[in-house]
Amino acid sequence: MCKRLARASEVSGRETRIVYEDDMKISIFGLGYVGTVTSACFARNGHEVIGVDVNPLKVALLNDGKSPIVEDEIGDIVQAQVQNGRLRATADVDGAIADTDLSLICVGTPSNGNGSLSMSSVLNVTKSIALALRNKSQYHVVVVRSTVVPGTVNRQLIPLLERESGKRLGAGFGLCFNPEFLREGSSVRDFDAPPFTLVGVREEVTADMVRQLYAEIKAPFLTTSVEVAETVKYASNIYHALKISFANELGSYCKALGVDSHEVMDIFFQDAKLNLSKAYLRPGFAFGGSCLPKDLRALLYHARAHDLDLPLLESILPSNELHVKRAVDMILAQGKRKVGILGLSFKAGTDDLRESPLVRLTETLLGKGYDIRIYDRDVSMARLMGGNKEYIEKEIPHLSCLLARSLEEVVDFAEVIVIGNSNKEFGEVFSKRRSEQVVIDLVRMLADSGKSQPNYHGVCW
């Protein structure tokens, strides 16, 4: 067994020293599904683990070497770790905190009737830990594993710990958010081989202790802000729900047509370039073009002809339109009348204006009396040919007179500059603009999300 970071020494002044020992002593609050799996696996990996729960039956079961939950492999692991003395349970919070260096909060956060989270268990456990920390001189790390909405740790749990313990974050204790990604039925395999270990943290000493806690796990160890880590957990679970619902609705459509849905998806899976990839998962502006809106409408019409309701798929176009409205509202909120729009085609590198959300955005602003200039080299009248020349002349002739000849012309004119697609040329606006000009970015042109730029706004970042 390799050396692990185990125990933090007493805080001396503003400096916290860390001592290395052969194992870590950890307490895990909540012996439900996540807590039991986490307790058993950390004990198996060589740590000394105390499970803490208010339910005496769970405490008794674990101390008898029996798992409080039914899960593949966990029963044998619990039995072995209790027998070798690395795993035990208690209801004594003070004793558990006194005997350990690091505590994990793994209690449940079920739904209330209105859909909000019930935070009572998390808050009660956090308060109990804080009260126990009053009598502890050593630096102690609290790791939140329970799923909580973004902002909970910083706005609720840290103030509660500081108030009830009489200590300060980074001095008397550390706190971080470490979401779990365990699936029931395969939790041990998920614990041992996660895609990554994610920790949202504010103090480096806490990050170091948690890094050592996971020393046996061969996966990337990622640190980020607490709020990002909290949100990643929700992004993951909601995306899983979205995928399941997508597959089921498509399957229902296939069944109505007599098509083998599993064969469809087996072929669908083979596209790792677009279908099963990070493609299209970057927050930005609405979709458009000649394929996606048209094909979605066609499938929904066909489904209705077969008396099928597909609420998830039916929600996509309204959601897309709402995103266009968000961008329009951001522009209106600036209180300025001269707007320059960089990009009119639905994406960079094309002159295709069919169902471009930028056309809808521009027409909305025109309808509200805004003074508009547009620059898109790919859509300039001199380069339009064939179908798009006909389209602009027949469908949007009122926009052709608004086309500027250069980026500089738009910058000289506009009070608000809208970056509509990711044409690299549009990145030059940041060196050409005046500081008082507002930039509304629909594509995240700047990698740092514009933090160094005055009067900069991203559509969804």
- For residues 324 and 277, membership in a common domain is answered with no
pLDDT tens across 64-73, in order?
999 999 999 9
The residue type of 138 is: Q
Take residue 357 and report the two structure tokens written for it: 């959300």
Question: Is residue 460 classed as helix, strand or coil in its secondary structure?
Answer: coil
Average pLDDT, the chain: 92
Q: Report yes or no on 310 lying in a domain.
A: no
pLDDT tens across 74-100, in order?
999 999 999 999 999 999 999 999 999
Distances (CA, A) of 340 to 115, 374, 400, 450: 42, 6, 14, 18
Task: Say how far apart CA 112 and CA 209 lie, in whole Å.
Answer: 34
Q: Report yes or no on 112 lying in a domain.
A: yes
| pTM, rounded to two decimals | 0.89
Task: Say how far apart CA 138 and CA 98 lie, in whole Å.
Answer: 9
Q: What is the DSSP string of 49-116?
A: EEEE-S-HHHHHHHHTT--SS--TTHHHHHHHHHHTTSEEEES-HHHHHHT-SEEEE----PBPTTS-
Take residue 135 and report the two structure tokens written for it: 């009598």
The percentage of residues in the chain with a pLDDT greater than 90, rounded to a whole number, is: 85
Q: What is the DSSP string of 244-303?
A: HHHHHHHHHHHHHHT--HHHHHHHHTT-TTTTTSSTT-S--S---SSSHHHHHHHHHHHH
- For residues 53 and 185, membership in a common domain is answered with yes
Take residue 204 and report the two structure tokens written for it: 């480096």
Size (the chain), residues? 461
Q: Which residue has the higher pLDDT, 166 or 20?
A: 166
User: Using an 8 Å Cβ cutoff, are 134 and 169 in contact?
Assistant: no
Per the annotation, the verdict on 291 as an active-site residue is: yes
Is pLDDT at 283 greater than 90 in this prediction?
Answer: yes
* Count of structural domains within the chain: 3
Take residue 285 and report the two structure tokens written for it: 């502006």
Distances (CA, A) of 203 to 160, 213, 226, 228, 270: 18, 16, 11, 15, 43
CA nearest neighbour of 437 among 311, 340, 295, 318: 340
- For residues 422 and 380, membership in a common domain is answered with yes
Whole-number pLDDT of residue 427: 94
**Domain, as residue range, for 326:** 319-458
Task: Say how far apart CA 234 and CA 13 lie, in whole Å.
Answer: 38
Is pLDDT at 136 greater than 50 in this prediction?
Answer: yes
Q: Report yes or no on 312 lying in a domain.
A: no
CA nearest neighbour of 93 among 32, 65, 134: 134
Q: Report yes or no on 292 lying in a domain.
A: no
Q: Report yes or no on 290 lying in a domain.
A: no
- For residues 217 and 73, membership in a common domain is answered with yes
- For residues 158 and 197, membership in a common domain is answered with yes
Q: What is the rounded radius of gyration, in angstroms, for the C-alpha atoms of the chain?
A: 28
- For residues 274 and 364, membership in a common domain is answered with no
The residue type of 60 is: A
- For residues 17 and 151, membership in a common domain is answered with yes
- Average pLDDT for residues 277-304, to the nearest whole number? 95
Q: Report yes or no on 171 lying in a domain.
A: yes
Task: Say how far apart CA 169 and CA 160 lie, in whole Å.
Answer: 11
Whole-number pLDDT of residue 397: 85
Whole-number pLDDT of residue 393: 76
Take residue 96 and report the two structure tokens written for it: 């558990």
In sequence order, what are the residues at sequence separation of 6 or more whose Cβ sits closer than 8 angstroms to the Cβ of residue 287? 293, 320, 346, 357
**Residue tagged active-site, from 41, 176, 254, 291:** 291
Sorting pLDDT into bands at 50, 70 and 90, what band is 384? low
Whole-number pLDDT of residue 399: 87
- For residues 348 and 215, membership in a common domain is answered with no
| 332: phi then psi, degrees, rounded to nearest 5 | -60, -35
Q: Report yes or no on 303 lying in a domain.
A: no
pLDDT tens across 151-165, in order?
999 999 999 999 999
- For residues 183 and 262, membership in a common domain is answered with no
Is pLDDT at 350 greater than 90 in this prediction?
Answer: no
CA nearest neighbour of 286 among 260, 262, 320, 312: 320
Task: For residue 360, give the CATH number of its domain.
Answer: 3.40.50.720
Whole-number pLDDT of residue 412: 98
- For residues 268 and 398, membership in a common domain is answered with no
Task: Say how far apart CA 68 and CA 413 lie, in whole Å.
Answer: 69
Q: Report yes or no on 286 lying in a domain.
A: no
- For residues 341 and 274, membership in a common domain is answered with no
- Average pLDDT for residues 257-262, to the nearest whole number? 98
- Average pLDDT for residues 101-117, to the nearest whole number? 96
- For residues 348 and 397, membership in a common domain is answered with yes
Sorting pLDDT into bands at 50, 70 and 90, what band is 142? very high
- Average pLDDT for residues 16-23, to the nearest whole number? 52
